[in-house]
Structure 1
């Protein structure tokens, strides 16, 4: 039940200018990073993640900031989309 609530109260988005991660039902946490600040894009997949096609995408920005998109469907495609957006 806990994971279902987390799933439905989490928003992850990539726009042409920034990446946004929001979660929380009562208390809300929002993390944003401008795309021009992203330095690295990492994909983390467990064995089950590789089998079922999900994983985490970690965006590291300048300094020590980072945003993690968790349980993303097809994380390699997401990484590809982000790197293409960064090169534009």
Structure 2
């Protein structure tokens, strides 16, 4: 995954995916491992099979997150997603109007969140499971020059 920078374009910020995005897959793996351990005493132990089945979703999610890229340059927000079939989206910095952060209670506890990038009449672009979303949003605001309306006029 290489970001092809244009002339006079500089990479300013790159988002990191939070480990919390692996929660479901880790729980799934633990449950299947426990199942394998309970069958260990029986004659037909399925420990190896349950370990493989338990780890496959985690490995897949790791691959998905590895192939996901959120980058901000001085000219555009670049979003790339997909393992085999790629989806690439570029949003010019001039079109970005505002940012929002959505965090569930678990995300707040562990410092993760979703950053919504608002551009005119388009539906928001969501950057999911970002590590330290407040810092990321503040850095994006500083780089793009966008000051959140919610920060200016608190309700």
Give 1:65 shift. 4.5
- Tell me which of 47, 54, 64 is aligned to 1:6: 64
* Structure number having the greater helix percentage: 2
RMSD over aligned CA atoms reads 1.5
What is the TM-score with the length of structure 2 in the denominator? 0.53
Asked if structure 2 preserves the Cα contact closer than 8 Å seen for 1:57 and 1:79, the reply is yes
Does structure 2 conserve the Cα–Cα contact (< 8 Å) formed by 1:21 and 1:67?
A: no
2:127 maps to 1:55: no
Residues 1:69 and 2:136 aligned together? no
Counterpart for residue 4 of structure 2: none
For residues 23-70 of structure 1, what are the alpha-carbon distances to aligned partners after superposition, in whole Å with 9 as ceiling and x for unaligned? 111100011101110011010111111111111111011221432111
- CA positional deviation for 1:87: 2.0
- Gaps in structure 1 of 5+ consecutive residues: none
TM-score (norm 1): 0.90
Cα distance between partner residues in 2 of 1:52 and 1:23? 24
Q: How many residues align?
A: 88
Larger radius of gyration: 2
